[in-house]
Amino acid sequence: MQKFDITLKNDKLKVYRTFTLFIVVLQTLFFIYLLFVDTFRNQAIIGLSIITLYTLYRILYTRHYKATFYFDSVIYLLLSLFWLDTIWLFLVYFLLLLLLQIIEKGTRFSFCKNEIIMIGFPGKKYQWNQFSNIVLKDNILTLDFKNNKLLQAEITTININEDAFNTFAKEQLVNRSN
């Protein structure tokens, strides 16, 4: 059974990572402020330690794997666990954790013989007879719906044979239109 999995490029990931960096900087400044309040000094030291240790881990990770530095969704998990005693801050960080997890996964399309499945948030299933044309050319996926809706996106999937995919898509479209 022939199947093609194609991942779309996530253009907004850089914006979300910048937002995460902004949150971490604000949280760090807040912990520094708490250092000067006697009753919260111990909590501030713990919070700063969490952020410092995780930052060091990310620096070592990026050097070892020669990747770009960014804070991933784990920082929200650590901060949400830190704020367990303050329910609203815990919920805010936990929701940010879930949101970033969804965003980091991105959107994928799985083209099977029977259907097309969009894997992401929200996921969706399409039937081949909903499309008038599907083409992959120069790493741009074009989905042309019969209701005049058009979806075009750059893909990040490597090692995909465009000719094989286009032949497969054309066969499925012809078979489903009869």
Q: Could you tell me where the DSSP H helices lie in 7-107?
A: 13-34, 41-65, 74-82, 87-105
Nearest of 68, 67, 72 to residue 100 by alpha carbon: 72
pLDDT in tens, 131-148: 999 999 999 999 999 998
Place of tokens 């919260």: 40
Instruction: List, for residues 83-133, the tens digit of each pLDDT value.
Output: 888 899 899 989 988 888 888 888 899 999 989 999 887 889 999 999 999
Q: What does the alpha-carbon distance between residue 169 and residue 31 come to, in Å, rounded to a whole number?
A: 55
Band the pLDDT of 1: cuts 50, 70, 90.
low
135 with 4: CB under 8 angstroms? Answer: no
Tell me which H or E stretch contains 157: none
Is 154 in contact with 8 (CB distance < 8 Å)?
yes
Tell me the Cα Rg of the chain: 22
For tokens 């830190």, name the residue. 82
Domains along the sequence of the chain with CATH: 13-105 (no CATH), 107-177 (2.30.29)
pLDDT tens for 3-57 read 899 999 988 888 888 999 999 999 999 999 999 999 989 999 999 999 999 999 9
CA–CA distance, 96 with 167 (Å, rounded to integer) = 41
